[in-house]
Amino acid sequence: CRAPRAPRFIMFHRAPNSDDLGENVSGRTEPTSSENSRSVSRLLKHKLVQNAASLYGVQIATYAVPLVTIPYLARVLGVSGWGLVAIAQGFGSYIALLGEYGFGLSATREVARQRDDRDKLADIFAGVLGAKLALVALSIPLAIFASRWVSVFREHSSLLWAALFWALAQGFNVMWHFQ
């Protein structure tokens, strides 16, 4: 069991006077604002920080965009129109699930293992996209065949094509490569 670490900041235990101006209790000088801004600037230029900020930005957009668009679409489309969109999204999700086939987990693991070898990363990327393309090529005819029994798609064929497009967009999403 380790002892707790001391805090990184040093507090004054007595009021500073002119003799120790710019120094704290331990005798070290406090960093100036220009030193702080340089260290923050250097930190923001670090590749890890930029990658993390990009992934956080995508996650925030994933939650923020529906917060804006769903109320608008529900108001404009009405209850029945919104129900049709929900059915198409659900159908598209099943197709996307067939195309994903767990690559979001297994491919991410392989990318993390091979992160320093560009050739292996290219092989992983090409292999995963090729496998997804093959799975989607099999699932689209199955989806078209299955849509014969879904009356909504017989009446609104454009919803079927929108669901297929949505499934393709979800299936070929490459966020697994950047996580």
Measure the CA–CA gap between 135 and 113, rounded to whole angstroms. Answer: 25
Are the CB atoms for 71 and 79 separated by under 8 Å? no
**pLDDT mean over 24-52:** 70
In this prediction the pTM is 0.61
Percent of the chain with pLDDT over 70: 79
Query: Can you tell me the distance from the alpha carbon of 75 to that of 53, in angstroms, rounded to the nearest whole number?
Result: 33
Mean pLDDT of the chain: 79
DSSP symbols for 69-118: HHHHHHHHHHHHHHHHHHHHHHHHHHHHHHHHTTHHHHHHHHHHHTTT-H
pLDDT digit string (tens) for 128-141? Answer: 888 888 888 888 88
pLDDT at residue 2, rounded to an integer: 56
More confident residue, 93 or 20: 93
Give, in order, the Cα–Cα distances in Å from 67 to each of 56, 74, 169. Answer: 17, 11, 20
Report the candidate in 108, 171, 109, 164 with the shortest Cα–Cα distance to residue 135: 171
Residue 142 has pLDDT above 60, yes or no: yes
| Paired residues of 23 in beta bridges | 29
Encode pLDDT of 66-124 as tens digits: 899 989 988 999 999 999 999 898 988 888 888 888 888 888 888 888 888 889 988 98
Helix, strand, or coil here: 152? helix
Residue 91 has a CB neighbour count (10 Å cut-off) of 23
What distances in angstroms separate CA 53 from CA 22, 66, 67, 107, 130, one per listed residue? Answer: 34, 20, 21, 22, 29
**Average pLDDT in the 6-18 region?**
50
